[in-house]
């Protein structure tokens, strides 16, 4: 949200009260509290009216600062975050002179200007960012009040992250709303909004709010990142380190890290697709067809129509298509496959579960006490209220019945279209703050059930919606994309953006979701998909088995399935770093080669861990541009060895079995 009209004027409808000077300082054992008038106090008469801003500064651990600012402390927007954070508060070293207050945590320090409030964040003597005079402000608006902060950007500094966003990989120049929406992969909306950004000046910023947050990233003011929230409070964290990897490790220490996943999850997943017709015969023909063609499968996924249409979700198999689901699941297990089924948190009015859930108070209600319902997606559907612990247990009980007959994991679809107007949650949560956080509760409910029933290290979901902290409930996939090269490009940008938002694992629909791709796109996307952390064949209106395209697609899919198996030792190394440090398995080039200025801009190639470089092909004619940083790079078969003394671009024509893949030698 923009509050100014150019450099000199305030936008119409707003009145900005910037933090001006530090009037009082209270030093507690693990916290410093600053009282900051929005005006300079020249005499006692100045103190009789006007907004004050309070700023509480603490540190959850070394090299991280927690800054909570507020105008009216008693306002509900100043309540605790819904994130259960590991914020135990480290001891601070505090010193001051007449002009400055210095607060140290590890090798990081905040230097606060007392006369003209603002601060500089430093790490080992290096300036990371500044909050300059007037950057922190309380704002009155015609449609409500806001809190705002602005942090400086250095020359050439680039901003990344803020969730799975499909526009430009570098966020400079963008206005971004943190607001989960079901918008596809070709709009400015996103399924996975994460209020965390990272820069290549080794800065991380996490805005600790679950309601809509507005970011102006070098847009309203091209030398600053501005973030604002409605209400009376702004709560955020700063992280500083030696590298972007350090920053991600600090951020995930606070919000959580991905657990390890079972080996089988890294193999190939095959789906029925969405609106296709399928029954037991169809399913087994796909599985057996893949085996006959020498293509290893790990997981078979049943999408929506394993349940009867108009009844989603009742968690009951359509007995016309699947008269004996337990027997079918057993046949799939006998073939060495795990089984996944599609679910969502919506209960159609036609579902056998609607009356049960409504009668027990398990669905989101309207303010008049009636059930909130909509016809968008399923006729008359309600939404499970996961703030009600009994509702969450009830939902888990329905899923446990599926686990009991052999289902191994769940695709947790949807969770973005959560109402904010005229609704009441069971625990009294603010609907505006619950909108994004609903994805967390939904996926946590399912993931924790799988951990209880299958054991830690064996739990897997395939989730679409997410927010901060959802990296603890992997895996996430990219959502609904078209089936062409521009969509493939959008998809990889979204995934790399998510990987710089604290997430470690990611997947997407090989070949695209909407429509049916050409055989050419399918083959190029298969190469990219099999060298993502997780790999799934899924679509909307057509089957995604390779022989549904052409026979060469069979050869391409088999080749990259086998290549991924050969590269699993490198993927396993990256898995260990994901669990221990929170680093992504699929890494944007800038994360691994931060000192190579070219890598700051690369968003169509990536690393798997720190050793394997992958450059997907995005053209029918097979021409691909890729960049090799300094080092020795060898193709997996060893037939192509390149010694790069300084980073070099290559433009080469590659066949379907020749996507650029290189391993960095030690």
- Residues known to be catalytic: 413, 416, 480
The 3 state secondary structure assigned to 472-511 is: HCCCEECCCCCCCHHHHHHHHHHHHHHHCCCCCCCECEEC
DSSP string of 19-65, one letter each residue: -----EEEE-SS-EEEEEESS---SGGGGGSS-EEEEEEE-SSTTEE
- b/e code 235-257 from CB counts within 10 Å (16+ = b): bbbbbbbeebbbbbbbbbbbbbb
- Whose tokens are 């964290």? That residue is 237
Confirm if 188 and 195 have CB atoms less than 8 A apart. Answer: no
Q: Is 106 left (phi over 0), alpha (psi -120 to 50) or beta?
A: left
Confirm if 530 and 560 have CB atoms less than 8 A apart. Answer: yes
Q: How far apart are CA 74 and CA 92, in angstroms?
A: 27
Confirm if 521 and 618 have CB atoms less than 8 A apart. Answer: no
Q: How far apart are CA 150 and CA 226, in angstroms?
A: 4
CA atoms within 13 A on the CB side of 460: 27
Q: Which helix (H) or strand (E) holds 648?
A: strand 648-653
The CA-to-CA distance between both ends of the chain, in Å, stands at: 47
For residue 219 the two structure tokens come to: 């847009």
Please report, to the nearest 10 degrees, the dihedral formed by the alpha carbons of residues 208, 245, 531, 606 taken in order.
100
* Strand residues in 287-353 grouped as ranges (E): 299-302, 338-343, 346-347
Confirm if 651 and 627 have CB atoms less than 8 A apart. Answer: no
Q: How far apart are CA 402 and CA 8, in angstroms?
A: 62
629 CA to centre of own chain: 28
Question: How does DSSP classify residue 603?
Answer: -
CA atoms within 13 A on the CB side of 179: 16
Confirm if 588 and 614 have CB atoms less than 8 A apart. Answer: no
H helix and E strand count, the chain: 10, 39
106: preceding bond cis by omega (within 30 degrees): no
101 CA to centre of own chain: 36
- Whose tokens are 């083959």? That residue is 523
Provide the H-helix boundaries in 309-421: 325-334, 354-359, 389-404
Helix (H, G, I), strand (E, B) or coil at 268: strand
383: Cβ contacts below 8 Å, ≥ 6 apart: 345, 346, 347, 363, 364, 372, 418, 419
């Amino acid at each position: 949200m923009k509050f100014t009209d150019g450099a000199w004027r305030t936008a119409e409808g707003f009145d900005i009260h910037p933090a001006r000077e530090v009037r009082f300082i209270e030093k507690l054992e693990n916290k410093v509290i600053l009282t900051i008038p929005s005006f300079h106090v020249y005499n006692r008469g100045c103190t009789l009216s006007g907004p004050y801003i309070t700023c509480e500064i603490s540190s959850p651990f070394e090299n991280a600062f927690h800054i909570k600012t507020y105008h009216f402390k008693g306002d509900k927007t100043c309540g605790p975050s819904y994130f259960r954070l590991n914020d135990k508060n480290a001891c601070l070293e505090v010193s001051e002179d007449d002009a400055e207050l210095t607060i140290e945590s590890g090798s990081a320090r905040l230097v606060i200007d007392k006369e003209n409030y603002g601060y500089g964040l430093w790490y080992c003597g290096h300036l990371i960012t500044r909050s300059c005079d007037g950057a922190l402000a309380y704002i009155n608006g015609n449609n409500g009040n806001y809190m705002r902060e602005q942090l400086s950007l250095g020359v050439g500094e680039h901003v990344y992250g803020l969730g799975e966003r499909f526009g430009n990989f570098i966020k400079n120049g963008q206005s971004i709303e943190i607001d989960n929406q079901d918008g596809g992969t070709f709009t400015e909306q996103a399924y996975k909004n994460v209020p965390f950004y990272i820069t290549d000046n080794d800065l991380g910023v996490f805005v600790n709010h679950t309601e809509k947050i507005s970011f102006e990233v070098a847009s309203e003011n091209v030398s600053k990142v501005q973030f604002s929230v409605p209400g009376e409070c702004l709560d955020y964290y700063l992280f500083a380190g030696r590298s972007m990897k350090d920053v991600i490790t600090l951020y995930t220490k606070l919000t959580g890290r991905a657990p390890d996943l079972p080996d089988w999850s890294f193999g190939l997943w095959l789906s029925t697709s969405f609106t296709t017709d399928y029954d037991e015969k169809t399913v087994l023909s796909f599985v057996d067809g893949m085996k006959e063609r020498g293509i290893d499968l790990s997981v078979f996924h049943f999408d929506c129509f394993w349940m009867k249409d108009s009844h989603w979700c009742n968690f009951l198999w359509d007995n016309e298509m699947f008269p004996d689901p337990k027997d079918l699941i057993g046949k799939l297990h006998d073939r060495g496959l795990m089984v996944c089924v599609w679910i969502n948190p919506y209960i159609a009015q036609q579902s056998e579960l609607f009356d049960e859930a409504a009668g027990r108070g398990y669905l989101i209600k309207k303010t008049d006490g009636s059930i909130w319902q909509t016809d968008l997606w399923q006729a008359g559907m309600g939404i499970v209220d996961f703030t009600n612990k009994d509702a969450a247990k009830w939902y888990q009980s329905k899923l446990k019945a599926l686990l009991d007959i052999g289902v191994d994991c769940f695709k947790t679809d949807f969770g973005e279209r959560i109402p904010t107007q005229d609704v009441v949650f069971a625990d009294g949560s603010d609907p505006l703050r619950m909108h994004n956080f609903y994805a967390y509760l939904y996926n946590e409910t399912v993931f924790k059930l799988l951990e209880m029933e299958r054991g830690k290290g064996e739990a897997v979901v395939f989730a679409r919606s997410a927010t901060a902290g959802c990296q603890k409930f992997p895996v996430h996939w990219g959502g609904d994309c078209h089936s062409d090269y521009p969509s493939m490009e959008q998809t990889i940008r979204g995934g790399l953006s998510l990987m710089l938002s604290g997430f470690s694992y990611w997947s997407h629909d090989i070949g695209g979701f909407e429509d049916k791709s050409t055989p050419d796109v399918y083959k190029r996307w298969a190469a990219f998909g099999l060298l993502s952390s997780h790999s799934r064949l899924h679509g909307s209106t057509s089957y995604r088995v390779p022989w549904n395209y052409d026979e060469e697609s069979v050869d391409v899919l088999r080749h990259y399935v086998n290549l991924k198996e050969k590269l699993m030792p490198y993927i396993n190394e990256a898995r260990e770093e994901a669990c221990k440090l929170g680093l992504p398995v699929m890494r944007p080039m800038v994360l691994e080669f931060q000192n190579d200025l070219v890598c700051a801009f690369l968003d169509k190639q990536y690393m798997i861990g720190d050793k394997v470089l992958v450059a997907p092909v995005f053209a029918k004619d097979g021409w691909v541009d890729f960049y090799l940083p300094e080092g020795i790079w060898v193709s997996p078969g060893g037939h192509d060895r390149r010694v790069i003394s300084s980073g070099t671009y290559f433009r080469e024509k590659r066949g379907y079995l020749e996507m650029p893949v290189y391993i960095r030698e030690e």
